[in-house]
Structure 1
Amino acid sequence: MSKNKYLFAFALVTSLFFIWGFTYGLLDVLNKHFQETLNVTKTRSTLLQAAYFGAYFLIGLIGVFVNKFDYKKGIIFGLLLFAIGAFLFYPAAESFNFNYFLLALFILAAGCGCLETTANPYVTVLGDPAKSANRLNLSQCFNGLGSFFGPLLASQLFFSHGNSDNLDSVKSVYLIIGVVVLGIAFLFIRTKLPEIKEAEQEHLTADQDKKPLGAHPHFIFGVIAQFFYIAAQVGVAALFINYCTESGLTIDNALASKLLAVALFLFAAGRFIGTGLMRFIQPQVLLAVYAIVNFVLCAVVLLHLQWVSVVALMIIFLFESIMFPTIFALGIKGLGSHTKKAASFMIMSIVGGAIVPAAMGVLADKFSTAVSYAIPMGCFLIVAWYGWRGYQIGLPKAMLGQGSGVKVDFNKH
């Protein structure tokens, strides 16, 4: 394959990172928009997160039982599911039915889940193997940009004059997304991409650990820590706009959406900052410190100190940035032949993002949005424990302090 074709294929794959980051960025704005246009409670609106991350759980479950994938077909299938889900937003908006939106979002997110589990390996083989990490980091940068532009655009379209009380802008946005995704799918069908040989990856599991996967406590605790981290991440974002508009300040939905975009920009920037810090600080130490910082920031959010608390809420995103990949890397360390299956369980653990935010919605409806942030506060404490102690339980002493030996995706999870 020529260099130009490699570049074209890389651009195609990188576009996937942007598009699923963009749709995730829209999610939390939709949460608030549907509360007002469809008259749903905060508790019910968090079913959007349940549908989105529940679909990811399903894809992870499939990955546990399926060990070999045709990656190109997986990407095309994911794009088609993505497009179908996006197009279903139109009849959902026409019917003004929240349940239809949940179905559309579930199908869209299932497509995103397929893309996330297939696109990353492609990035690593599209060119010089020595530069695979550089390519992956570049693609992840576009994911962060998508997450930033999603709420920024939504603040203008969903909450602008004349659109705050109807779903016309939602129909238009998702129709455009569907058309773009179908176009990308066509390009993938027409583009020859390199195959990934399973045999080329077997050297990562050369130790062939004979212990069953469940006999590795550091992995079990890693799955638990990942569950609560994703629960915290999704919960913090899901009620972000509600918190800002109820802060006692003159913050409307449009401004709150822009503040969310800034928070997501901090999240993206934190990936680069964290990667640099890990050259000098062990990942588990940084994980524990970041989690403790977020525990304190959540306490400030609970105190409801107007701008002080709003800024604290935004800074939480910065310190979340390294948590998913760091927990992932620590959890799969030393698992040998179990690594691929362990990775699927790690993906399944993001179901925390589907379950826990609903509990936040209940607290927000019964007491206040500020009180609901006690839940992510507790979640960050569990993450801090994993970085301090949980990651090393059952791990051979010779492996403590070593890298995972596995490249980890710094995506939005």
Structure 2
Amino acid sequence: MHTTAKSHQYGKALTVLTSLFFMWGLITSLNDILIPHLKAIFSLTYLQAALIQFCFFTAYFVVSFPAGFIIRKIGYKRGIVLGLVTAGLGCLLFYPAAGAQSYPFFLSALFILAGGITILQVAANPYVTVLGRPETASSRLNLTQAFNSLGATLGPLLGAVTILAVAAPAAGAQGSAAAQAAAVQTPYLVLAGLLFLLALIIGLVRLPVIKEVEGADEATRAKEERVHGKKSVWEFRHLVLGAVGIFAYVGAEVGIGSFLVSLMGQPQIAGLSPESAGKYLSIYWGAAMVGRFIGSALMTKINPARILTVNALINAVLIGAAIVAGGKTAMWSLIAVGLFNSIMFPTIFSLSLKGLGSYTSEGSGILCMAIVGGAIVPVLQAALADHMGILVSFAVPLVCYLYIVHFGARGHREMVGKSSPAERRAPVAQGA
């Protein structure tokens, strides 16, 4: 009876958390629409336009590690509410940024928005891993991340209809820059309202409390130190290698999403309009959603690390084929990468947190800090695109996937397959 009640409570919490994953997926993928939109308004180079992703994902680097400490002090639930309110404020700032027609103002608003999403990531990802049996953590995180991909799928579609399609008629009109900039105001005001509403709902809902991770004291740390001999979260080798894996994965995923619309607009590739290309981009994110549902089921029967290795290898082959073949083959090969991206982030994340015990929240902060790959890799890709062509620039994410092959095959192994006392005392969720 107790187990049934606990399962029901976990199910309720996972349902609430799933809405968060959906929202930040939608908001993040809207950046792929903002890049060509703001590039046209402000006549930016690829490198200058890449500052959109740079500012957005730099927030992860700046905010993640302190967020881990903050969440240990205030708890996961309050951390989630704080993240939602901060992200909502960032969305509100898009209104004056559009009115001022200021690119730096847009970048500042994006940074604040991303800071809120960073706090959400630091809180929600480890929360999902402990709401149930440890051996199904990867499967559970993949399932919730599938709804993140649903949001990421709808983001480009909504952006194409509400931003690109609205801005297009203004392109030839007098004062077009003001009219095109204003196209972002209504969508981001709506997003702000939804984020504030979610913060209110989560503030009122009772969620399970994570024991040990939340408020782990010095005695707990000292006891774990005697067991695994580690005095710092940085001493977990598989966590550090996993952080590099997160850096590489997010950088590759964001880099491909950021430049697909521009690539598909090239006459020698597909010659699509920005609005049409934005709709095709949703297939890239939609494929990731489908893959996560499939991956969540497969991981109950197949080693998650093995699935990660195979998927990363397939993506490296797909990108290589795109660069060599060009044309529509390149377009569809890069869109197909989304399917195999599907399980990567949650799988790398859960493998990296395995066995961290009371260091879990700090470990989550480090992994979320590594999401800064979404800032660095697209900038490197943009520099290559400006000098060697946009198709050749996809060699940058190809290198990222080759590293993930290494992490899946060997890098995660330190804690995997060992039932250490620290691992057996991994955080558990209890009723509030």
TM-score range, shorter chain: 0.7 to 0.9
| SS across alignment from 2:249 | helix
For 1:141-167, what per-residue CA distance to the aligned partner results, in whole angstroms no more than 9, with x for missing partners? Answer: 432221111100111222224155512
2:390 to 363, 369, 376: 369
| Paired position in structure 2 for 1:209 | 228
| Paired position in structure 1 for 2:253 | 233
Give the structure-2-normalised TM-score. Answer: 0.82
Letter in 1 for 2:160: S
Q: CA deviation at 1:85?
A: 0.8
| Paired position in structure 1 for 2:114 | 109
For 1:191-246, what per-residue CA distance to the aligned partner results, in whole angstroms no more than 9, with x for missing partners? Answer: 2423514348789x979422244444333222222211221111111111111111
Query: Whole-Å Cα distance in 1 between the matches of residues 260 and 185 of structure 2?
Result: 23
Query: Is 2:361 the partner of 1:340?
Result: yes
- Assess if the C-alpha contact under 8 Å between 1:209 and 1:336 holds in 2: no
Query: Whole-Å Cα distance in 2 between the matches of residues 127 and 324 of structure 1?
Result: 19
Distance 1:134 1:367, change over 3 A: closer
Letter in 1 for 2:107: L
For 1:75-108, what per-residue CA distance to the aligned partner results, in whole angstroms no more than 9, with x for missing partners? Answer: 3322221121111111111121111110001111
| SS across alignment from 1:343 | helix
RMSD, aligned CA? 3.6
Distance 1:197 1:250, change over 3 A: closer
- Assess if the C-alpha contact under 8 Å between 1:329 and 1:406 holds in 2: no
Query: Whole-Å Cα distance in 2 between the matches of residues 87 and 381 of structure 1?
Result: 39
| SS across alignment from 2:326 | coil
Give the structure-1-normalised TM-score. Answer: 0.85
| Paired position in structure 1 for 2:190 | 176
Query: Is 2:193 the partner of 1:193?
Result: no
Q: CA deviation at 1:291?
A: 1.2
Q: CA deviation at 1:352?
A: 1.1
| SS across alignment from 1:149 | helix
- Assess if the C-alpha contact under 8 Å between 2:13 and 2:208 holds in 1: no
Q: CA deviation at 1:12?
A: 5.3
Distance 1:228 1:391, change over 3 A: same
Query: Whole-Å Cα distance in 1 between the matches of residues 132 and 392 of structure 2?
Result: 50
Query: Is 2:26 the partner of 1:22?
Result: yes
Distance 1:398 1:19, change over 3 A: closer
| SS across alignment from 1:159 | helix
| Paired position in structure 1 for 2:62 | 58
Distance 1:250 1:10, change over 3 A: same
Letter in 2 for 1:209: H
Query: Whole-Å Cα distance in 2 between the matches of residues 396 and 17 of structure 1?
Result: 27
| Paired position in structure 2 for 1:143 | 148
Q: What is the aligned-residue identity percentage?
A: 34
Query: Whole-Å Cα distance in 2 between the matches of residues 132 and 215 of structure 1?
Result: 22
For 1:46-79, what per-residue CA distance to the aligned partner results, in whole angstroms no more than 9, with x for missing partners? Answer: 1111111111222311134443333333233222
For 1:327-350, what per-residue CA distance to the aligned partner results, in whole angstroms no more than 9, with x for missing partners? Answer: 223323334443332222111111
1:383 to 397, 401, 404: 404
- 1:50-129 equivalent positions in 2, closer than 5 A: 50-66=54-70, 67-119=72-124
Query: Whole-Å Cα distance in 2 between the matches of residues 390 and 335 of structure 1?
Result: 16
Distance 1:200 1:294, change over 3 A: closer
Q: How many residues align?
A: 402
Unaligned runs of 5+ in 2: 428-432
Query: Is 2:352 the partner of 1:331?
Result: yes
| Paired position in structure 2 for 1:152 | 157
- Assess if the C-alpha contact under 8 Å between 1:229 and 1:383 holds in 2: yes
| Paired position in structure 1 for 2:430 | none
